[in-house]
Amino acid sequence: MRIIYRQHAIKRMHERCISEIDVEQAIESGTIIEAYPNDTPYPSALLLGNAGNKAVHVVYADSVDEDLRIIITVYEPNPEIWFEDLKTRR
């Protein structure tokens, strides 16, 4: 599956010092913690994965017909918003 990055994701990744390699590692190691099947134009999901020694949340949408994964945004989970498991919102 080919990965593309929305402009918003690129901007946020730059601000947060998260690289494309970090995102790829997070996707490979990650699990979906929230699914948004009714999002348009494509179903999307929130994934928790590891990038080196840090936890990363990746919001992405998949276009199965086009074999495309669209990265919407990427961030390190904020402990004020997420419980220690980083999978559950407070």
Q: Measured between alpha carbons, how far is 33 from 13 in angstroms, rounded to an integer?
A: 20
* Domains of the chain in sequence order: 2-75 (3.30.2310)
pLDDT at 1: 87
Q: Residues of the chain whose pLDDT is less than 50?
A: none
Whose CA is closest to 27, among 48, 6, 13, 41?
48
pLDDT of residue 20: 97
